[in-house]
Structure 1
Amino acid sequence: MIPDEQFLTVDQVLEKLIKAIEESKPLSLVRIGDGENIVLAQDSVMTVENVLKEKWAQKANQDRKLKGVTLPNLTLRDQMVDAIKAADIVGIPFYKNDPILTENRLKRELTDQVFSYFQINPQMVCHTFVNRVFAQKKQFWKELRSKKIMLIGQWSEQASQLLREKPYKMNICINLPFDHNYQMDHTLETIRINKDNFDIALISCGVNSVVIAQKVAEMTGKIGIDFGKSLMFMVQGKAGLTHSSRGAKIDLLP
């Protein structure tokens, strides 16, 4: 696998995003953290029984909206594998000093295991928290300002109100609420129907974002960005141009 030193920096990912915007070309950015690793580990590098013992899985099954999926879900696992293989840029954890707040065994160690099992070999990788640093970058929001933005996720409506105001001044044209994986088919169909009504999708749907971000690029020729928890954190005043997300300060990932 790619060593930490060969990761794209946040600025390099932003350059690729800007190029896609300027050339009106599709781009998909997906991100893998501990939750995605656990979904991918189902009946592959871990038994389903052991997956269900993980705290992340238990929380997901206790509260439907918390993680956006109920396990086991092998269909989502397989959709995620296909999406990661097809994505343009894949965010993964660092080997060293990774800021994701969970056990090391659930971070890069598990990513390598599931990638090896499913023969996933991304051509371009960056850090999983690229989305959180994007939220802090004026240049990111400046590039999006002239485009029609679709927000997808549980926090899309509240985030749209925030992003329409200063200092963001975004053109939020579509909000798609998304709480749980059962909404996947309907959401993808809605995206397909609206392919001429947006330019960029910011997707905050938990582990489902991996699939949706890649499908945005594949189905519509537009830009799909797995935006992780950033929309929620922005609404909560924990991220954005005036706040840094915990573990992902703007100077942490160059």
Structure 2
Amino acid sequence: MSKHLLLRGVHKRIRHALRRKKPFSLVRIGDGENIVLAQKSVWSIRKVMKQKWARKARRGKKGVTLPNLKLRNEMVRSIRRATVVGILPKNDRNIRAPRYLKRKLTKKVFNYYKLKPKLTCHACVNRFLARRRSFWRMLRKYRVLIINKHPKKLKRILRRRPYRLKIRGTIAFSHYRHMRRAVRKARAMKNRFDVALISCGVNAVILAPRIAKSTGKVAIDFGKGTRRLAR
């Protein structure tokens, strides 16, 4: 039976993993991840491709190209490996997406794949953490790796006040096809960082557990938490 963590609980688990130098991965399941998982499982490919998110993905705007069953299967495996899995509450108002693409669809795909995470939290935990000064104070003590589309821009922001983080590496990532390269680079840098902040859409669900496993570090699917930062 899964245990649902509040924000304080997630913060505590991250802090514990960092202090003990234990691998830890946090992933989050929103509408995009639900659509990827629904491919040829609870929905037909035709129904998936009718969704606005999927059409944007086909045009190269989501960092993945659908349909893609390999991506779907990798995501399922990564959810099983993740330390904590963020899911949306039943009446979510944080994510701008039709209701049928949110918790209702998560329940369907999780039941289909028999996904039963031991630890869950709110899928918008990244946004909540970004607002907590205590979160940034904690990260200040550790070496950070940034993975996203424009990592150098984010590096400049996070090195300044009020964050003042020690950024020890960056990896540019804009599409699913960069997955192997990103994991390989993170593995090569494992002695230079303690925690990876990953913002690369649905790809982060696959990337975070892989990096945690291959480096023994903390890997956080930080998503749009970066949009909450002071510029």
- TM-score category of the 2 structures, normalised to the smaller one: over 0.9
What does residue 195 of structure 2 align with?
200
What does residue 250 of structure 1 align with?
none
Tell me the percent identity: 43
CA 1:69 to 1:97, structure 2 compared with 1: closer, same or farther past 3 Å? Answer: closer
May I ask how many residue pairs the two structures share in their alignment? 231
1:9 to 6, 9, 30: 6
Which amino acid counterpart does residue 95 of structure 1 have in structure 2? K
What does residue 84 of structure 2 align with?
89
Matched, 1:129 2:124: yes
- SS for the counterpart of 2:26 is strand
Q: Tell me the CA shift for residue 156 of structure 1.
A: 1.5
CA 1:74 to 1:141, structure 2 compared with 1: closer, same or farther past 3 Å? Answer: same
Matched, 1:182 2:202: no
What does residue 37 of structure 2 align with?
40
What TM-score results when the alignment is normalised by the length of structure 1? 0.88
Matched, 1:111 2:111: no
Matched, 1:148 2:143: yes
Alpha-carbon displacement from aligned partner over 1:8-48 (angstroms, at most 9, x marks no partner): 11111001111111111111000000000000111111111
Alpha-carbon displacement from aligned partner over 1:225-249 (angstroms, at most 9, x marks no partner): 0001222x1xxxxx13x59xxxxxx
Which amino acid counterpart does residue 63 of structure 2 have in structure 1? G
What does residue 164 of structure 2 align with?
169
Q: Tell me the CA shift for residue 84 of structure 1.
A: 0.3
Distance in 1 of aligned mates of 2:160 and 2:29: 31
Distance in 2 of aligned mates of 1:153 and 1:129: 18
1:22-33 equivalences in 2 (<5 Å): 22-33=19-30
2:94 to 78, 94, 99: 99
Q: What do you get for the CA RMSD once the two structures are aligned?
A: 1.4
Distance in 2 of aligned mates of 1:214 and 1:134: 19
What does residue 224 of structure 1 align with?
219
Q: Tell me the CA shift for residue 210 of structure 1.
A: 0.4
Alpha-carbon displacement from aligned partner over 1:47-90 (angstroms, at most 9, x marks no partner): 1111111000001112x2x3110101111111110010111100
- SS for the counterpart of 1:67 is coil
Distance in 2 of aligned mates of 1:160 and 1:99: 26
Q: Tell me the CA shift for residue 97 of structure 1.
A: 4.0
Moved over 2 A (4+): 96-99
